[in-house]
Structure 1
Amino acid sequence: MKTKVLVVENEILIADDLCATLEELNYHVLEPALDYYSAIEILQTESVDIVILDIQLGGKKTGMDVAEYIRKHLNVPFIYLSSHSDQKTLELVKDTMPYGYLVKPFNAPDVQTTLAIALSNHSRYTNKRASYEKEEKVDLTPMEKVVLRLVADNRTTKEIAEWLSISLSTVKNHRHNICVKLDLPQGTHSLLKWAIENKHTFY
Structure 2
Amino acid sequence: MIRVLIVEDEIIIARFIELQLLNNFDCETRVAISPKEAREAMPDMQPHLLLCDINLCDEITGIALVAELKNSYSFETIFITSYQNKNIIEQASATNPANYIIKPVDEAQLFAGIQLVMTKIGLQQPATKEKASQAIEQLNNTEFMILREIRNQKTTKEIAKALHLSPYTIKNHRHNICRKLDLEEGNNALLKWVMQNQHLLK
TM-score, with normalisation over the residues of structure 2?
Answer: 0.56
More contact order relative to length (CA 8 Å, sep ≥ 6): 2
3-state DSSP of counterpart to 2:50: strand
Q: Does the 8 Å contact 2:7/2:52 carry over to 1?
A: yes
Matches of 2:7 and 2:82 in 1, distance apart? 14
User: 1:123 Cα shift?
Assistant: 6.9
With 65-74 and 99-108 compared, the bigger mean Cα shift is at 65-74
Q: Does the 8 Å contact 1:4/1:27 carry over to 2?
A: no
User: 1:62 Cα shift?
Assistant: 1.7
- Paired letter, 1:23: L
Q: Does the 8 Å contact 1:52/1:80 carry over to 2?
A: yes
Matches of 1:6 and 1:41 in 2, distance apart? 11
- Paired letter, 2:109: D
- Aligned residue runs from structure 1 range 86-105, under 5 A: 86-105=85-104
User: 1:125 Cα shift?
Assistant: 8.4
Structure 1 pair 45/125, CA: closer, same or farther in 2 (3 Å)? closer
- Aligned residue runs from structure 1 range 61-76, under 5 A: 61-76=60-75
User: 1:65 Cα shift?
Assistant: 2.3
Matches of 1:48 and 1:79 in 2, distance apart? 13
Matches of 1:120 and 1:36 in 2, distance apart? 27
Q: Does the 8 Å contact 1:54/1:80 carry over to 2?
A: yes
Question: Aligned-residue CA RMSD in angstroms?
Answer: 2.7
Structure 1 pair 21/120, CA: closer, same or farther in 2 (3 Å)? closer
Gaps of at least 5 residues in structure 1 are 132-203
User: 1:47 Cα shift?
Assistant: 2.6
- Paired letter, 2:54: I
User: What CA deviation, in whole Å up to 9, does each residue of 1:97-117 have, x standing for no partner?
Assistant: 111011111122222222222
Matches of 1:75 and 1:38 in 2, distance apart? 18
User: 1:118 Cα shift?
Assistant: 2.3
3-state DSSP of counterpart to 2:30: coil
Q: Does the 8 Å contact 2:3/2:45 carry over to 1?
A: no
Aligned to 1:142: none
Aligned to 1:30: 29
Spell out structure 1 runs of 4+ moving beyond 3 A.
119-128
Structure 1 pair 125/71, CA: closer, same or farther in 2 (3 Å)? farther
Q: Does the 8 Å contact 1:25/1:108 carry over to 2?
A: no
Structure 1 pair 70/27, CA: closer, same or farther in 2 (3 Å)? farther
Aligned to 1:6: 5
Percent identity, please: 20
Gaps of at least 5 residues in structure 2 are 132-202
Matches of 1:65 and 1:50 in 2, distance apart? 16
User: 1:39 Cα shift?
Assistant: 0.2
User: 1:58 Cα shift?
Assistant: 0.6
User: What CA deviation, in whole Å up to 9, does each residue of 1:61-109 have, x standing for no partner?
Assistant: 2211221133211221011010122322212211111110111111222
Aligned to 1:187: none
Q: Does the 8 Å contact 1:7/1:19 carry over to 2?
A: yes
